[in-house]
Amino acid sequence: MADKNSFEPEIEFKDLPKNPSRLFGWVFPYYAVLFLVMGIYFVKHMNSASFNNVPAIYTDSLIVSADVEMKKGGIMPAIDLGIISNPNADLIGQGKTLFQTNCSSCHGTEGKGDGVAAAALTPKPRNFHETEGWTNGRTFTDLYNTLEKGVPNTGMIAYEFIPAKDRIAIIQYLRTFTDFPKVSDQEIAKLDENFSFSKGVATASNITLEMATKKIAEEANTKLDLNVVIEKINQSNDKNIVGLFNSYALDKEKVLVVFSRDYLKTNNADLFIDRLIASPSANGFKPSIVELPREQIIQLFNVLVKAVS
Ligand code: HEC
C-alpha cells in the first residue's frame, strides 16, 4: 500500500532539462497575456499612431540661390553730364570724402590697395596706381560698371546703392591717382544712353523673393479664426453631422486649414471626398472616416463649407 501514499508530481521537474520543450507550456500563458495586452493597446492607439503630425502648411520647394536684393526705389535726379567731362574741384573733393568712407578700408586711404581690411582678402583690392591687371578695365565706363555690378566672387561688392552722382564723384577722385584713359564725348553719350544720367530715372523698390513669397502666402491665407469656425460648426442645425465632425476630426485645426485652403477654392465635394478618402490623416481626419457612407461625407463637406466661408 506504499503506492497509495507516495506523491506523484504531475511534472517531473528533474526531467525537465532533458525535455526542454515542455518548458514552453509553462511560459506560454504569460506571453499570451502580454501579447494580448500589447494588441489591445495598439488597436486603441491606432488612430493617433497613423496620425501624420507634419503641419498642414505648404512649404516652399523653391530654393533660391540668387535672391533679389532689397532696395528702396526712388528718383535719381538728372545729372549734368559736365561732371563726367569736366569735373571741378568741388566734385573731386566730394569724391575724396566718399572714397574715404566707403572704399578706403579695402583700397587704402591713397588707393594703393592696402586698406586695413585688405590683408584678409583674396584677390587683394585693386591698387589704383597700377595700370595693369584690371578685371573690368580702367575706362570711365569700366569703373562705372564695376561700381554698378561689383566684381563677382571678390570682396568688391556692387555699390549701385550709392547715388549715380556720388559714384561719378568717387570715380573722378579715383582718376586723380594716376593717368586714366580720357573720356570721349562718344563714351559719355553711350553712358547717358545706358544709365539715363541726363534724364534721371525712377527706380522701383525691390523686396527679396523670400519676403514676396511670404507676403503672397499671407494674402492668400486669410487667417481663419479657428474658434469662430468651430463654434459655427457646432451651431449647425444638423446635429448628426456635428457629431461626425467632432468624432472623426482628429486634428480640427488641420482639418479646417487644409479644408479652407484646398477645397473651398474648388468647391467640389467629389474632389474633397476623393482626397479625403485617399489620405484621411493628411487631412486631419481619423482613418476610420473612410467607412462612412459617401452621403454623410458630402453632408460634412457642406457643413464645413458653410462654417468656413
Ligand atoms: C571689402 C573690400 C572692398 C571695398 C570696401 C571696396 N572694394 Fe573695390 N575692390 C575690392 C577687391 C578685393 C577688388 C579686386 C577685384 C578683382 O581683383 O577683380 C576691388 C576692385 C576694385 C576696382 C577694380 C576692378 C577691376 O576692374 O579690376 C575698382 C574700380 C574698385 N574696386 C573700386 C572701389 C570703390 C570706388 C569702392 C568704394 C565705393 C570700393 N572699391 C570698395 C575690395 C573692395
For the chain, the domains span 10-44, 45-65+210-309, 74-203
177 lines ligand 1 (CB under 6 A): no
Crossing angle of helices 239-248 and 226-234, in 10° steps, is 140
Q: What is the pLDDT of residues 3-30, one digit of tens each?
A: 556 666 666 777 777 777 777 777 888 9
The domain 74-203: what is its CATH number? 1.10.760.10
221 pLDDT above the threshold of 70: no
pTM of the predicted structure, to 2 decimals: 0.53
Q: Please state, in angstroms and rounded to a whole number, the distance separating the CA atoms of residues 215 and 219.
A: 6
Residue of minimum CA distance from atom 21 in ligand 1: 126
Centroid of ligand 1 to alpha carbon of 126 (angstroms) = 6
Q: Which amino acid is at 36?
A: L
The CB of 117 under 6 Å from ligand 1? The reply is: yes
Q: Which of 101, 104, 126 to mutate to test the pocket of ligand 1 (most atoms within 8 A of CB)?
A: 126
Give yes or no for a cis peptide into 123 (omega within 30° of 0). yes
Average pLDDT, the chain: 83
Pocket test for ligand 1, best of 92, 156, 171, 173 (most atoms within 8 A of CB): 156
3-state SS class at 290: helix
